[in-house]
Amino acid sequence: MQTKILNLAPKIPGDADNAETMLTFKPFLKFLKRRREKSLGVRNGYLSYVIEQFEKHPELLERISPEKAVEYQEQLQLIYNSLSPLTEDEDSHYWALSLPLKPVLFYATNAFSNLLSDIISCKTGKVSETTVSEEEMKINQLQFRYSLILEKCFNIPSFFNREKIHAMTDEKTGMNKFYKMKMDIRFIEVHTTKPLPDINIKSLKSRTSYDHQDVLPLLQRIMPLDMFRFEGFGITQISDITSQYAIDSIKNAILNTLDMDEDKCFENITRSLKALVGHNEIEFGILPLLRVNGNLIFDKGMNSDSMIVKLYEHEDSLGEESYLQLAKRYIADPKITVYKEITTADEKRQPFLRLVKKKGVKSYALLPIYFNNSLGGVLEIHSKVPDLLGDTMLAKLDPAMPLLSQLVNTAVHYFEDEIEHVIKEKFTSVQPSVQWKFNEAAWHYLRDKRNTDSKEIEDIEFASVYPLYGAVDIRNSTIERNASLRKDLQVQFTLLIDVLKELKGASGFGLIDEKIFLSQQWLAKVSDPEGFNEEIRLNEFLENNIVPFLSNFQKGNQRYAAITNKYFEAIDEASGIANEHRRSLETSMTAVISAVNFYLESMKGEIQQAYPSYFEKFRTDGVEYDIYIGQSIAPHKPFSDIYLKNLRLLQVTSMAAIGKYSHSLLKGLVVPVETTQLIFVHSNPIDIRFRKDEKRFDVEGAYNIRYHIVKKRIDKIHINGSLERLTQPNKIAIVYFTKQEADEYRGYIDYLQGQGVLKDDIEDLELEEMQGVSGLKALRVGIVI
């Protein structure tokens, strides 16, 4: 332990230094006596001994200077022993005693004292990256003091964060390290020199729950610091959170992969992995295993940080084929492979290591990355320093492996989405079941072009196919979006008004009053519970009036720029608080729809097993899909209505599974959104034709169009004679025309009720008439959740 006095803030700015402080160990003695009353045996004896050591020196129980206090090393050591685990190592435990309010340390563990001494003197090259302005320091100090007053005098738990995170760069390693500093206030007492004001505690608690900035000026006004005296001492503890910070950074990078440049994403993850292992000399490459038609492929763009991939561009490169062969051999026997220092023998066994070594690499490792027990990618680690890659270093990567697993899975899905996008953009979403028809049409086109100079390609049609339509929708998605927009606008205009008022106070510019008046009018409109329908005028006001007006204040005056930046940061779509509700809703909706999409994609294979059919999805606020089955799709396989019935049963079963699965996601969503499940039964066969302009199949013929009209209108249909929507969460709605259709689906429902999939609550419903459509009925049944 060390008794060096360190003043971390020689001058406390402004009003924060008005409070009287007094270093004394009396509160600690009171604490020990209370604990002794509840203790027995050895603990009681120990506490009595500590109390006795302090009572021998009554001067410790009165006001004492830190210079005098450090002379009582035995008593200070007893404080540390009493409050820290007996097995705690002083050389690694960051712990210190300080004055009640001021960051003046007078007794600290070796670890704490050495760390701060190094930072102050820069002897080891450690430099704090956290720069705090004088104004921020003043606010921090005021927040700390008033949180003590509220907690000690009014029993209001602290609403100001007492934990501070500091980043430092270690010049020896070149790596950032992150530390969390926390203050223990158990031994600080707050005494008043004047009577406490009569304040509304309930109102104050309410205000502290949502607006800290408003509370601080209020507290300063009604309770100035000079009416309080702070007695006792504080305890400061620091913990190294570098590993957790690195893990959180990797999580954020993965969550933001859609909004971030691919190279930037991998750069952030690599930097975090370096922080995790604590070495800047270690490089990482992440190689997702990408396949096309089941065959492994080489994608230089997605593996740009890989040492092996970089060899591909080298004059002595492996070549793409050699790379793929190497990858296939590793996939056949994936295991952790470490070369602490590449030797000649290693080069003979693995020729690619010779090329790696020529790049200056001395140590090299490969770690398999699994996703759902399947190899999803490889983590490549290499360094120009020998013997750096060992078991200890690899063990530090363990917390990151589940995240890297998710990353490579995301990368694989992203690659597959890119492939699908190209196909849809350049060709169409041709499925195997109908590929033969497109092949024939293409052959006929080439044949006719050579023989007759024809440039027309024949129409692709399928006659007399049975349609199955389904829709999984987000319940009240429009209402939820409007509600989120309204909440965000309230936040935006409240903040805008505060910014304008602060700007007026700083500049005295008269025109600001008009902007405040108009902003208050708009805030009242968007807060109206009856609704808001002037979005175009509102956007025009914000974009063409407020933004240019505030932008003028950003030029030439740093103080004005700092004020207006609060507004521009708040309206940032990616991170601003004025878009938070919409971001949360979209994140939840995307999570649910992605899960539904994933389920439907997995169902496509099962659909094709019994009889080839065409399956097509459409993305709306939810997911809609059409399935077509019939003899014309598979002319070489006899068709029977048994295949149609099998597919209809599968459709009902899948809708029940989707409803149950989406419900299970609710507890993990930021905004709880629910799905509705809808099926439309159409027993008569229809004709479909591929539309070249839209690159999709659509119904053909006037009679068949009726099917298309009905399916587009029933998603918001009501039960006849009521305002109740047919589609409800945790239920399947089956719309039909004829009794024969209803009887068939009753059979499927009975079967699934017997299997415990559906509830025994089936409803027969008459539906309201729609324009051009009448006679619709529905079955509705609950899903066992």
- Segment 189-228, tens digit of pLDDT: 999 988 888 776 666 655 544 345 567 788 888 888 889 9
pLDDT band at 156 (very low <50, low <70, confident <90, very high): confident
> How far are the Cα atoms of 93, 344, 594, 606, 779 from residue 599, in angstroms, in the given order?
50, 51, 9, 11, 24
Contacts 24+ apart (CB under 8 A), 594-602: 595/661, 595/662, 595/665, 596/472, 596/622, 596/623, 596/658, 596/661, 596/662, 596/675, 597/623, 599/654, 599/657, 599/658, 599/661, 600/625, 600/654, 600/658
Helix (H) / strand (E) containing 522:
helix 512-526
User: What local confidence, expressed as pLDDT, does residue 702 receive?
Assistant: 62
Q: What is the spatial distance between Cα 241 and Cα 225, in angstroms, rounded to a whole number? A: 34
Average pLDDT value for residue range 276-302: 80
Q: What is the spatial distance between Cα 229 and Cα 18, in angstroms, rounded to a whole number? A: 10
User: What local confidence, expressed as pLDDT, does residue 423 receive?
Assistant: 47
User: What local confidence, expressed as pLDDT, does residue 735 receive?
Assistant: 96
Residue 57 scores a pLDDT above 70: yes
Q: Which range among 98-102, 502-506, 616-620, 638-642 shows the weakest confidence by mean pLDDT?
A: 616-620
pLDDT band at 257 (very low <50, low <70, confident <90, very high): low
Average pLDDT value for residue range 393-418: 86
Measure the CA dihedral 757/758/759/761, to 10°: -170
294-321: pLDDT as tens digits: 778 776 655 556 787 777 655 444 566 7
As given in the structure block, the two tokens for residue 413 are 């899905």
**Higher pLDDT among residues 120 and 663, named by residue:** 663
Q: What is the spatial distance between Cα 317 and Cα 476, in angstroms, rounded to a whole number? A: 57
Average pLDDT value for residue range 657-664: 94
Question: CB neighbours of 70 closer than 8 A, spacing ≥ 6?
Answer: 3, 5, 76, 106, 107
Residue 128 scores a pLDDT above 60: no
**Higher pLDDT among residues 69 and 359, named by residue:** 69
Q: What is the spatial distance between Cα 682 and Cα 738, in angstroms, rounded to a whole number? A: 9
User: What local confidence, expressed as pLDDT, does residue 127 receive?
Assistant: 44
User: What local confidence, expressed as pLDDT, does residue 113 receive?
Assistant: 85
DSSP 8-class letter at 545: I
* % of the chain at pLDDT higher than 70: 87
357-376: pLDDT as tens digits: 988 999 999 999 999 889 99
Q: Are strands 295-296 and 126-128 parallel, antiparallel or unpaired?
A: unpaired
Q: What is the spatial distance between Cα 67 and Cα 5, in angstroms, rounded to a whole number? A: 8
Residue 426 scores a pLDDT above 50: no
As given in the structure block, the two tokens for residue 68 are 């005098």
- Under 8 Å between Cβ of 491 and 577: yes
Amino acid at 378: V
Amino acid at 442: A
Mean pLDDT of the chain: 85
pLDDT band at 782 (very low <50, low <70, confident <90, very high): very high
Residue 123 scores a pLDDT above 80: no
pTM of the shown model: 0.47
Residue 736 scores a pLDDT above 90: yes
Amino acid at 415: F
Residue 425 scores a pLDDT above 50: no
User: What local confidence, expressed as pLDDT, does residue 253 receive?
Assistant: 81
Residue 626 scores a pLDDT above 50: yes
User: What local confidence, expressed as pLDDT, does residue 129 receive?
Assistant: 45
Only one residue has tokens 């210079």, namely 67
- Under 8 Å between Cβ of 677 and 659: yes
Q: Which residues of 369-392 are buried (b: 16+ CB within 10 A; e: fewer)?
A: bbbeeeebbbbbbbbeeeebbeee
Residue 461 scores a pLDDT above 80: yes
Average pLDDT value for residue range 426-431: 58
User: What local confidence, expressed as pLDDT, does residue 148 receive?
Assistant: 87
| The most confident of 435-444, 565-574, 702-711, by mean pLDDT | 565-574
Task: Report the first-to-last Cα separation within the chain, whole angstroms.
Answer: 60
DSSP 8-class letter at 542: I
